């Protein structure tokens, strides 16, 4: 029986998973999403075209793969239809390649409104969500009030829907939040008809059957470990399990079926939304990272906060996820930097630690940095590890030494070709 390999972001999302999944998918017959929803925006670039995937697995571009939207995902029918029809228009036929778990939860129009209402109610302590209704949908799932994809096949669907909607309206009323859901609701019901045309299945059976048949499966994570609802910088997190264990619960595969765990990180750090970010740079260097790295959100267009690589956080993510191979992205963004810094510990109110803290409320964190000389050349010209300048190899090898995990893939540009596999 084959195992499921998992690819995960190890930081606050936006590490470049879309590109790497696209590079890895030729080795797999099945690609599955296991958590998150349209808060994700996996950007892929090839043949001069740029695509952003939100809910659909990145295997869709390769043809001949089984793509699964697993039970751990939350699906917005309106955004799904938008995404799927755009892909169909560019020649990617989804109907035969995509199946969706009946146990995935539906994002209702009122979930989106609730997301906005909760954020407004939080005032200055808002999370800075993507506004896609993610938190309220997972809240309903856990509180056993959710509406599942499989429910749209029920003759009682209208009743199920209205029960949920009325509950939401009561909450919105109690928050004193003004809204108009009529137009969104019309679009939502139209989009449900489109969703019904897909293969809606018990995907845990499908995936385990494919594994038994010897098919290779790649589980594709969204967001990143530091946004995980348990292990991230709570409460400034998303509402799903973005860690490796999330692939088990989000697809219905047992822990002993997990094989390789690919951990993907940027050579520096970024974050969108609120919450702690110890190595954040508020100076010209931070602005340079943003400008050269095009660090603007794929879903919301927001400016990403930028800072140096944080090894305290990276080691924490590697531990929680059981990462077996590292993948480093966007090293080329720092091509022209004279000096590059990496945080190796935190100084918290005079006490030094290399553990990711429970909370940073009321604590001043000063990262303890190790400095590296910049490589000052264009990494995009390199095609083999041996082509890289010594200064860059020192940076990579320091990360390997600190984390104890090999850096197997290094990406030096957006294109498929700009990927060095060791």
**Binds ligand IMP (CB under 6 A): choice among 272, 327, 342, 379:** 272
CB 240 within 8 A of CB 246: yes
13 lies in the binding site for ligand IMP (CB under 6 A): yes
Instruction: Tell me, yes or no, if 42 is annotated catalytic.
Output: yes
3-state DSSP assignment of residue 63 = coil
Tokens of 335: 């091509």
Judged by CB under 6 A, the residue of 72, 146, 250, 273 near ligand IMP is: 273
128 sits near ligand IMP (criterion: CB under 6 A): yes
Q: What is the DSSP code (8-state) at residue 304?
A: P
Choice from 4, 5, 8, 14 touching ligand IMP (CB under 6 A)? 14
Q: Which residues pair with 347 in a beta bridge?
A: 352, 366
Check binding of 259 to ligand IMP (CB under 6 A): no
Work out whether 276 is an interface residue with ligand IMP (CB under 6 A).
no
Per the CB < 8 A criterion, the answer to whether 356 and 378 are in contact is: no
Minimal distance in Å, beta carbon 414 to ligand IMP? 17
- Shortest gap between Cβ of 126 and ligand IMP (angstroms)? 9
- Work out how close the CB of 276 gets to ligand IMP at its nearest, in angstroms, rounded to a whole number: 11
Q: Is 196 helix (H, G, I), strand (E, B) or coil?
A: helix
At closest approach, how far in Å is the CB of 202 from ligand IMP? 26
For ligand IMP, give the closer residue by CB, 20 or 420. Answer: 20
**CA 422 to each of CA 67, 145, 268, 385, 387: distance values in angstroms, whole numbers, following the listed order:** 27, 48, 21, 7, 12
> Among residues 5, 22, 42, 168, which one is catalytic?
42
- The reply to whether 403 sits near ligand IMP by the rule CB under 6 A is no
- Report the distance separating Cα 202 and Cα 188, nearest Å: 23
93 labelled catalytic: no
Q: Does 127 bind ligand IMP (CB under 6 A)?
A: yes
Least Å from the CB of residue 269 to ligand IMP? 12
* Interactions with ligand IMP, residue window 25-84 (CB under 6 A): 39-41
* 409 in Cβ contact with 327 (< 8 Å): yes
Residue with tokens 């740029």: 50
CA distances from 220 to 51, 189, 283 (A): 17, 28, 34
130 is an interface residue for ligand IMP by CB under 6 A:
yes
CB of 410 to ligand IMP, least distance (A): 22
> In this structure, how many other beta carbons lie within 10 angstroms of the beta carbon of residue 290?
18
Given 14, 310, 321, 332, which residue is catalytic? 14
Residue 405 burial (CB count, 10 A): 18
Q: Shortest distance, CB of residue 275 to ligand IMP, whole angstroms?
A: 6
| C-alpha of 313 from chain center | 17
Q: Count of alpha carbons within 13 Å of 166, Cβ hemisphere only? A: 6
Distances (CA, A) of 189 to 18, 78, 83, 141, 150: 30, 9, 16, 20, 15
Q: Report how far residue 273's alpha carbon sits from residue 359's, in angstroms, rounded to the nearest whole number.
A: 17
Q: Which two tokens stand for residue 276?
A: 């702690």
Q: Judge contact between 326 and 315, C-beta under 8 A.
A: no
Binding site for ligand IMP (CB under 6 A): 12-14, 39-41, 127-130, 132, 134-135, 222-223, 227, 236, 238-239, 272-273
Catalytic residues: 14, 42
């Amino acid at each position: 029986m084959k195992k499921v390999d998992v690819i995960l972001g190890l930081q606050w999302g936006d590490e470049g998973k879309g590109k790497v999944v696209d590079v890895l998918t030729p080795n797999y017959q099945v690609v599955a999403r296991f958590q998150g929803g349209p808060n994700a925006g996996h950007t892929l670039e090839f043949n001069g075209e740029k695509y952003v995937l939100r809910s659909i697995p990145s295997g869709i571009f390769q043809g001949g793969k089984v793509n699964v939207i697993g039970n751990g995902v939350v699906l917005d029918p309106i955004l799904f239809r938008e995404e799927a029809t755009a892909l169909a228009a560019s020649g990617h036929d989804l109907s035969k390649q995509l199946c969706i778990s009946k146990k995935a939860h539906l994002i209702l129009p009122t979930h989106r409104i609730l997301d906005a209402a909760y954020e407004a109610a939080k005032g200055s302590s808002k999370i800075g969500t993507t506004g896609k209704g993610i938190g309220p949908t997972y809240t309903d799932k856990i509180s056993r009030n959710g509406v599942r994809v499989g429910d749209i096949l029920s003759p009682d669907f209208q009743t199920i829907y209205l029960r949920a909607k009325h509950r939401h309206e009561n909450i919105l009323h109690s928050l004193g939040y003004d809204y108009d859901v009529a137009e969104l609701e019309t679009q939502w019901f139209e989009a449900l008809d489109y969703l019904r045309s897909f293969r809606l299945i018990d995907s845990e059976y499908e995936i385990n059957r494919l594994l038994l048949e010897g098919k290779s499966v790649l589980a594709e994570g969204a967001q990143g470990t530091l946004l995980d609802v348990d292990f991230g910088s709570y409460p400034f997190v998303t509402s799903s399990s973005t860690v490796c264990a999330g692939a088990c619960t989000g697809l219905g595969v047992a822990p002993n079926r997990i094989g390789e765990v690919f951990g993907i990180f940027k050579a520096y750090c970024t974050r969108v939304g609120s919450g702690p970010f110890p190595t954040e740079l508020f100076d010209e260097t931070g602005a340079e990272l943003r400008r050269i790295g095009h660090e603007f959100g794929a879903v919301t267009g927001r400016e990403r906060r930028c800072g140096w690589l944080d090894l305290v956080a990276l080691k924490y993510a590697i531990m929680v996820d059981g990462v077996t191979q590292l993948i480093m992205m966007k090293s080329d963004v720092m091509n022209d930097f004279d000096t590059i810094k990496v945080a190796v510990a935190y100084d918290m109110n005079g006490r030094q630690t290399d553990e990711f803290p429970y909370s940073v409320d009321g604590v001043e964190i000063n990262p303890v940095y190790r400095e590296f000389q910049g490589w000052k050349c264009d990494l995009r010209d390199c095609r083999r590890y041996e082509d890289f300048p010594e200064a860059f190899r020192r940076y990579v090898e320091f990360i390997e030494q600190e984390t104890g995990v090999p850096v197997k893939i290094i990406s030096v540009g957006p294109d498929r070709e700009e990927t060095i596999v060791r």
